[in-house]
Structure 1
């Protein structure tokens, strides 16, 4: 892979992984518009490692507290609010994990078209706009219960369909359940850790079949996606309460229109 291609694709992945704007909708553009070749499985694993590194580094204190609370809860000690939150994250991960095992092959074979990505980019943009307008914003991160965790987890399972946006659909669900924007975003980011680990491990196992590895491109992919994802998380959380979700909604609608124009013309 050309290093410039690797840099651009890693930058796109790092920025769009955690913003509610659909990484798959953006990653199709270089291929369709510029005629770039598919980046390959090894590069996919590399950018997964990069984005995972970013979220772990940014939230290292919270993730350490979640791990500590989860371990303590095994002895029956639920006094730490992080213990409860840790189990809610486990519950929220189950639907997407099961959906991935059951439907991944079908989705890969049937739902990775530009038409599907354009449609989901627009449809879920409108749903995000509705959620941001109707949200009561009266719930905090530690208010999440089992029912809410499972609902958000089922929403995350929908993100297997390209163009949906994992962060977009989980934030949408959390907003509709009454959580404030920052809490919705943080829970979405925390949920990304086990999902990225599972997805990266699944793709990593496929690499054992003997794929060629371009180590220079891999290095660029890891470093650039990690840095861009870290900055994206930081600025998204800094501005989310001030700017709301509508800038991302308008951006998604524009992206969907571009994808439709590409198909038509």
Structure 2
């Protein structure tokens, strides 16, 4: 993999991790579209280190506040409820990811058609949640059980095409959260799961993988991820998620058309 390819994939990871469009799907589809060799699961997980850096830097005050409130006040405050909800809501994703890793690698990561179908299907569900969800509740009104439900949705994100942020934001909207609150809880709930994904590469890390391309990809993911978080939260003060639902449908259609053209 060249440095340029790594930077491109790092930017893709940073953009798609926090937008509800599926980073895992894009890290498979972009090399496939461009005729590059697949980056591989290990490199994809390494790029999560970049997005972990981004979300940690952006939300470091929130993360410290969550830890302090959760440990000292339990669920007696809104922040404490969110903190314990994140702890409990992370469990389904961790378990599902551990149990399904081999299945996902063998089945879903090898099928462009299944990725395209899931992109379109989850995009349609996101569209419905954005249009029909009441969007009245702020982050201060969230309950522990709400975050657990959102965490259950996050567990499905191990499957390429579903999208971690897409699943969590959709679930949050369905539970009545405002658009900006849905995004913020998605980002915060994603911090421990992204950390876990990055740590997965450590036991199997080969020193030869730490090349200039590796570090360029991680840096690109960190910079683009930070920028996307800031821009999305600002955009959602007035904008909707419908543009992302539409984008998912367009990418899905393009992938299917390309499959047919290539006879695959």
Q: Same fold (TM over 0.5)?
A: yes
Q: 4+ runs of 1 displaced by more than 4 Å?
A: 77-80
Q: In structure 2, how many angstroms separate the alpha carbons of the residues matched to 1:81 and 1:119?
A: 38
Q: In structure 2, how many angstroms separate the alpha carbons of the residues matched to 1:78 and 1:247?
A: 36
Q: In structure 2, how many angstroms separate the alpha carbons of the residues matched to 1:42 and 1:169?
A: 23
Cα RMSD (Å): 1.6
Q: In structure 2, how many angstroms separate the alpha carbons of the residues matched to 1:195 and 1:217?
A: 24
| Contact 1:6/1:221 (8 A) holds in 2 | yes
Name the CA shift for 1:148/1:134 in 2 (closer, same or farther; >3 Å). Answer: same
Structure-2 residue corresponding to 1:100: 97
Q: How does 1:108-127 map to 2 (within 5 A)?
A: 108-112=105-109, 113-127=111-125
| Contact 2:52/2:194 (8 A) holds in 1 | yes
Structure-1 residue corresponding to 2:170: 172
Measure how far apart 1:144 and its partner are.
2.0
SS in structure 2 of the partner of residue 264 of structure 1: helix
| Contact 2:150/2:171 (8 A) holds in 1 | yes
Structure-1 residue corresponding to 2:247: 251
Q: Which string of whole-angstrom CA distances, capped at 9 and with x for unpartnered residues, describes residues 187-242 of structure 1? A: 000011100111111122222xx462142012211211111000000000001132
| Contact 1:153/1:170 (8 A) holds in 2 | yes
TM-score normalised by the chain length of structure 1: 0.93
Structure-2 residue corresponding to 1:200: 198
TM-score normalised by the chain length of structure 2: 0.93
Q: In structure 2, how many angstroms separate the alpha carbons of the residues matched to 1:136 and 1:78?
A: 25
Matched, 1:19 2:15: no
Q: How does 1:87-166 map to 2 (within 5 A)?
A: 87-112=84-109, 113-166=111-164
Range 218-227 or range 31-40, more displaced: 31-40
